[in-house]
A and B are shown apart, each in its own frame.
Chain A
Amino acid sequence: MTTIITVTSGKGGVGKTTTSASIASGLALRGFKTAVIDFDVGLRNLDLIMGCERRVVYDFVNVIQGDANLHQALIKDKHCDNLFVLPASQTRDKDALTEEGVEKVLKELEHQGFDYVICDSPAGIEHGAVMALTFADQAIVVTNPEVSSVRDSDRILGIIQSKSRRAIEGREPVKEHLLVTRYSPKRAHEGEMLTYTDIQELLRIPLLGVIPESEAVLQASNQGIPAIHQKDTPVADAYQDAIGRFLGEQHPLRFVEYEKPGLIKRLFGGK
C-alpha cells in the first residue's frame, strides 16, 4: 500500500517545498521507499531544494504525456538510497497536469512498491493545487503564525474536504495534520505572534509539529541539501520529531518555549 501525502498551504512562501523535501528525506532515512513530486508546473523549485537541478532530464508532464517513462524521469536522491524526486515541468501549460495523468503516475509508483509519495503542492487554489490534493490519503497543512497564512490554510482545508477523491467518493476523509513553520517562541511569548495553540484552535486539526524560524533553512536551500540533514539544528530536530509523530511515535514538542536569557548571557551576548 502506498500512502499519498500532500503538503499544501494555500499561501505561498510558508515552507511547503522545504517541508516536502525534509519530510520525504526523513521518511527515506527511516527506510521507507519514498518519492517526492513537484506539482508546481511552470515554477519548479523542488529540484533546487533537493540539489538535483542539474540532473533533470525528463519531468512529470513528460511522463503524463508518454514522452518518457517514469523510470527515466525519477531522479535518485544523493543522500538517501530509497528516495526519488519527480520534478515539475518548467515550460508547458498548467493544463498538462490532467487528473487521469496524475492518477496513472501515482498508480505506477504504487506498482513499483513505493511506501510514501509526497505531493509538493503549488501555492493558490488553482488547478495544480487541486491536482496535488485530489489523491491524498493524508495532508500536511503548512502554516505560518501570520493572519493571511492561517486564513488560507482554512480555505485549503475546505478544498481538501470537498475536492479530494476520498471526499467525493465518501471514503474515510483525508487525514489532516497541522505543521506550524517559521515559529518564533520569543515573539509568541511577547504577544507579537500567534502561538501554535492559537493556530491549532483556529484550524481545529491535530498538530504534527512546530518548526522554529531558523537561519539553517536558508543555509540548507543555498546548498541544495534538505534542512533535515543540517545536523543538530533545531529545524532538523523538529522535522525529525514531526516525522516520528507522523509514524505514531510520541515526542514532546521542542523549541516552542521561550527561555529568558540569564544575566550573564544578556551581558556577554550569544544566542
Chain B
Amino acid sequence: MSWLSLIFGEKKSTASVAKERLQLIIAHERTCASGPEFLPELQKDLVAVISKYFPVNPDDIKVGLEKQGNYEVLEVNIVLPEGR
C-alpha cells in the first residue's frame, strides 16, 4: 500500500479477493456435502407416493437443494409419463 494508491483509490487486495472467492465456494460445497445425506431417501419416498397414483420412472424424479441468497431452495422435478 503506497501513498499513490491512497490518492488514486485503493485497488482491492488479492487476499480479499481470495477470501471472497473462498467464502462462496466453501459455503456452496458445504451445502452439497450436507444435502445428499437425506436427499436420496426423500427421492425414494417421493417415488413411492407418486407411484400410488400413476406409474412413474424413478429416474424421472429429480431432487436437489440449492442455496439462493439467504434461502435454501428444494427443487423437485417430476417428469410425467407421456400420454396422460
Interface residue? B49 (CB, 8 A): no
B22 to A150, Cβ gap below 8 A?
Answer: yes
* Cα–Cα, bound, A188→B13 (Å): 10
A202 to B15, Cβ gap below 8 A?
Answer: no
What string of 1s and 0s marks CB contacts (under 8 Å) between B11-45 and chain A? Answer: 00111101101110110011001000000000000
B14 to A192, Cβ gap below 8 A?
Answer: yes
B15 to A191, Cβ gap below 8 A?
Answer: yes
Closest-by-CB residue of B relative to A198 is: B19
Most buried by A among B14, B22, B29, B33: B22
Given A158-B33, A191-B1, do A151 and B22 touch, yes or no (CB 8 Å)?
yes
B26 to A188, Cβ gap below 8 A?
Answer: no
Interface residues on chain B, number (Cβ under 8 Å): 15
A195 to B26, Cβ gap below 8 A?
Answer: no
Could you say which of A155, A158, A162, A191 contacts B16, with CB atoms under 8 Å apart? A191
What string of 1s and 0s marks CB contacts (under 8 Å) between A180-204 and chain B? Answer: 0000000010111111001000100
* Cα–Cα, bound, A190→B21 (Å): 19
Given A192-B15, A195-B15, A198-B15, do A151 and B26 touch, yes or no (CB 8 Å)?
yes
Chain A positions within 8 Å of B, measured between CB atoms, are: 147, 150-151, 154-155, 158, 162, 188, 190-195, 198, 202
Chain B positions within 8 Å of A, measured between CB atoms, are: 1, 13-16, 18-19, 21-23, 25-26, 29-30, 33
